[in-house]
């Protein structure tokens, strides 16, 4: 069967694969369009399998905040090398995946990957097909959905780190600038929780044991170890929980005090930080 340029272009539009790869797949499939699509997908699966253990330390982070400001979604789409992160097909697919998440209000990565994109392809399959075309591991490294009375987003200038912050009890105040400052702080300072009670108990126990070991090595009396360790734990909370951190732009204030100064009763209900690399 003769393979026409129109056939090749149709397959290219449907899969995003290169012209030569499309022509080769159509030839192997003897002109059967669906079979050619499957051939290209399997090619991508083979590349993905070979590169499954490779690190994905490059890529792009994209954010979409709803018009109401009450919900936002952030996607980290990762690849192996910086040049690939600049390829148009890579950024186009990343945007398509995020917009599918927005359209269907996806709550997590698993749901996101199962969604149909605007061109009809399932997100996970589209990624596999692009892997076959580019020859590099591509993954949804992270995806988060945040909702609240008002959600503010910030993406770092390198497009490899971002944060979303959800506020409550806004009472009509404009928290856009405050939210950006807090989100920037989250990206820079990497808090492990909103407040003390949000820290993983395993992390707390580990910090207590570290504090005891340090005091023991300093020759402190055994009876004093617990008290010393708790003091170190409180320092850990101040440095690693968002509300207790010093505000980077004004260290005389904690984030909790900054919120109260901006609007009495203003609270952060949740936040997320995601990064590539």
Cα separations in angstroms, 179 against 1, 149, 157, 258: 61, 12, 17, 11
Q: Note whether 246 and 256 are same-domain residues.
A: no
Q: Note whether 235 and 264 are same-domain residues.
A: no
In contact, 61 and 141? CB cutoff 8 Å: no
> Chunked in runs of 10, what are the mean pLDDT values of the chain (277 residues)?
84 74 86 85 68 86 96 96 94 97 96 94 89 88 96 94 96 91 97 95 94 92 92 95 97 96 94 95
Q: Note whether 276 and 153 are same-domain residues.
A: yes
Q: Note whether 134 and 233 are same-domain residues.
A: no
Q: Note whether 117 and 235 are same-domain residues.
A: no
Q: What pLDDT shows up at residue 7?
A: 87
Query: In which domain, by residue range, is 81 found?
Result: 53-147
80 vs 55: CA distance, rounded Å: 6
Q: Note whether 143 and 154 are same-domain residues.
A: no
Which CATH number covers residue 226? 1.10.286
Q: What pLDDT shows up at residue 45?
A: 65
Q: Note whether 24 and 60 are same-domain residues.
A: no
Q: Note whether 98 and 110 are same-domain residues.
A: yes
Q: What pLDDT shows up at residue 144?
A: 97
49 vs 54: CA distance, rounded Å: 10
- Residue 109 CB neighbours (<10 A): 18
Q: What pLDDT shows up at residue 70?
A: 95
- For 160-217, write each residue's pLDDT tens digit: 999 999 999 998 888 999 999 999 999 999 999 999 999 999 999 999 999 999 999 9
Q: Note whether 133 and 116 are same-domain residues.
A: yes
The count of structural domains within the chain is 4
Pairing of strands 71-79, 58-65: antiparallel
Q: Note whether 177 and 272 are same-domain residues.
A: yes
Which CATH number covers residue 132? 3.30.479.20
Residue after which a domain boundary falls, among 87, 118, 147:
147
Q: Note whether 261 and 208 are same-domain residues.
A: no
Q: Note whether 158 and 44 are same-domain residues.
A: no
């Amino acid at each position: 069967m003769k393979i026409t340029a129109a056939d090749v272009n149709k397959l290219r539009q449907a899969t995003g694969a290169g012209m030569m790869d499309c022509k080769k797949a159509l030839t192997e499939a003897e002109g059967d369009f669906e079979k050619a699509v499957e051939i290209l997908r399997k090619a991508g699966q083979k590349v993905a399998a070979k590169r499954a253990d490779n690190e994905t330390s490059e890529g792009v982070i994209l954010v979409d905040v709803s018009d109401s400001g009450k919900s936002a979604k952030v996607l980290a789409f990762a690849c192996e090398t910086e040049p690939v992160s600049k390829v148009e097909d890579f950024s186009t697919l990343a945007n398509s995946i995020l917009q599918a998440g927005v359209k269907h209000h996806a709550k997590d990565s698993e749901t996101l990957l199962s969604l149909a994109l605007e061109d009809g392809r399932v997100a996970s399959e589209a990624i596999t097909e692009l892997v076959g075309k580019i020859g590099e591991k591509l993954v949804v490294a992270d995806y988060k959905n945040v909702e609240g009375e008002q959600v503010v987003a910030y993406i770092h200038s390198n497009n490899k780190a971002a944060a979303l912050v959800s506020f409550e009890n806004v009472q009509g105040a404009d928290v856009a600038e405050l939210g950006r400052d807090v989100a920037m702080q989250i990206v820079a300072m990497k808090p492990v929780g909103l407040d003390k009670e949000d820290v993983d108990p395993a992390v707390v126990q580990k910090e207590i044991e570290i504090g005891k070991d340090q005091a023991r090595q300093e020759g402190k009396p055994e009876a004093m170890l617990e008290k010393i360790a708790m003091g170190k734990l409180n320092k850990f909370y101040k440095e690693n929980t968002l509300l207790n951190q010093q505000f980077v732009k004004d260290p005389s204030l904690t984030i909790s005090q900054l919120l109260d100064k901006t609007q009495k009763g203003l609270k952060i209900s949740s936040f997320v930080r995601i990064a590539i690399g």
